[in-house]
Amino acid sequence: MIRFRLKELMADKAFKENRRITMDEISAATDVHRTTLSRIANKQGYSTSTDVLGALCEYFDCEVGDIAERVREKPEE
């Protein structure tokens, strides 16, 4: 499963810039709809496009691996 780290990136940017970062601000800067950002941040297993990932990389000045990570699923017993 892929896990998105949007909330962590928002918290890191807020700390570095000593201000609050909102989904509305990210949406305005990236042209990614706020609903999409909310789903990325909160919905487990959400799937998004490479265009969205690219826009978020530009906004946060990071690599795709900083936004998304693979989480191994535990095998059922």
57, containing H or E segment: helix 50-60
- Per-residue pLDDT reduced to its tens digit, 2-44: 899 999 999 999 999 999 999 999 999 999 999 999 999 999 8
Delineate the domains of the chain, giving CATH numbers in brackets.
Answer: 2-70 (1.10.260.40)
Report the predicted TM-score, pTM, of the whole model to 2 decimal places. 0.85
